[in-house]
Chain A
Amino acid sequence: MVKRIALAQLSSCWGCDQSLVDLHLKLLDVLPALDIVYWPAVVDYKMADLEAIPNHSIHFGFVEGSCRTKEDLHLLRLMRQKSKLLVAWGSCSAYGGVQGLGNQWELNDLLERKFLKADTITEGRIPEENLPGFTEHVTPNPDIVDFEVILPGCPPTSENTAEALTALISGKPYDLPDKTVCDQCPKERKEKKIKKFFRTHEGHIDPNKCLLDQGYLCLGFATIGLCGAQCPTVNTPCKGCFGPPPNIKDHGAKIISALGAIADMTPEELERAFPDPIGSFYFTDYASSYLSRIRGKQRSRKKK
């Protein structure tokens, strides 16, 4: 039986769609089993087309991106209403994404910075007409509606999406692995005693040894192993864009806990090495951290 699929894009870079079409000819393996009923990134569908579809009639709903505007919220709820099985596709959808880092500031500060104070802007104004309006706070999609499947990644690799799709089409469950990026990384690891942290452009990287052992902040140890260690394999430290393994509640807290144990440095040196801990430890998942949730509650209390 051909399954109906809808792919919706909220606030995001649409890189997940790019990653899916990067499957090229392999797309032909899954496409015959699918009937695309909504995919604005590729076909010119409008919101009204999705609204016209009967409830619970879409077999797989893929939601990419997070809710930064009120229209995103509407589309997310609409997708839940129409879909039998909803997939949080990509880190934005699963954790809030890079835009979640904006939760450190109030909405007004963000709007002023972007529309009034940016270097390239002359006669700036904050756009208000004919726009859906912004949400005060980026809340991870799974906190707004229920999801059956979570598939993180920034973006999920073409293979990740194909694997999940194939499993869903054949009716099998799709669960996230408990392993980390380190489990997939080919580099040689030794006991960790880090004396100094380097930025990626400093020093010379030995391509055969573990990047963290050499003092580069590679977050593979705290990041779910789905990507096949793409970055460390080519000597680029992992930024943790796939988020933590399933049983970890707070990515950054876990990273800090590990760094305290493996760094052979004084606390002062360690603190100096990371002037921006939120940016370094919560690249795509700040919105789902405890600290951002605390801030979110504070905001909603203030509003009342």
Chain B
Amino acid sequence: MITPKTTAPGKAVRKDKKSTFEPRIMAFCCNWCSYAGADLAGTSRMQMPPNVRIIRVNCTGRIDISFILDALYQGADGVLVSGCHPGDCHYTSGNLKMKSRFALLKRLLEEAGLEPERVHLQWASAAEGEVFAEGITNMVERIKKLGPNPVGRRI
């Protein structure tokens, strides 16, 4: 696996200081609502922590549970899935399928002994830049409380 090298300064210093744990969070955003919402949050210059790497998908219904587990296995401290509000899905019901999968995923993580709070599902429409920014802020807070991923850092 090729790991992209980070250009972030002071990486080595940050590693051995536990008090300054900065989580790395993977966010899957749907093209039609949340990705546009993230864009709006950016263009409106709303403040949010820079810990999130966003991957755009056409619909949250396209997200296979193995994507989320793979991200955790590769060392993501948390995974956020952000989609359209129920009823607003561009493909009518993709987000509801994700919601059903998510319930089983949480149960699975709990049974496997991994904190289910490391994954989170939220709804944010294209007009809700604020909701998106708030969701990111809360997610980062939540993961900071949980601490780093037990697997160690690979991404």
Contact = CB atoms under 8 A, between A and B. Distances in A.
A249 B73 CA distance: 12
A249 B70 contact: yes
A267 B103 contact: yes
B107 to A, nearest CB: 5
A179 to B, nearest CB: 20
B101 A257 contact: yes
Contacts of B101: 256-257, 259-260
Interface stretch (B1-9, B13-21, B45-53, B92-100): B92-100
Interface stretch (A36-44, A130-138, A167-175, A288-296): A288-296
A159 interface: no
B43 interface: no
A248 B65 CA distance: 12
A293 B73 contact: yes
B109 interface: yes
A277 B108 contact: yes
Contacts of B102: 260, 267
A295 B103 contact: no
Interface stretch (B34-42, B111-119, B127-135, B137-145): B111-119
Contacts, number: 97
A34 to B, nearest CB: 39
Q: Give the interface size bracket for A toward B.
A: 20 to 34
A271 B102 CA distance: 9
B150 interface: yes
Contacts of B150: 294, 297-298, 301
A277 B111 contact: yes
B70 A295 contact: no
Task: Name the 9 nearest CB pairs between A and B, nearest first.
Answer: A260-B101, A267-B103, A253-B66, A290-B69, A253-B65, A260-B100, A291-B112, A298-B150, A271-B103
Interface of A: 104, 248-250, 252-254, 256-257, 259-261, 263, 265-268, 270-271, 274, 276-278, 281, 289-295, 297-298, 301
5 contacts: A249-B66, A253-B66, A260-B102, A293-B73, A295-B113
Given A265-B100, A297-B151, 16 more contacts: A104-B111, A104-B112, A253-B69, A254-B65, A260-B97, A260-B100, A267-B103, A270-B103, A271-B106, A277-B107, A278-B112, A290-B70, A294-B72, A295-B113, A298-B150, A301-B150
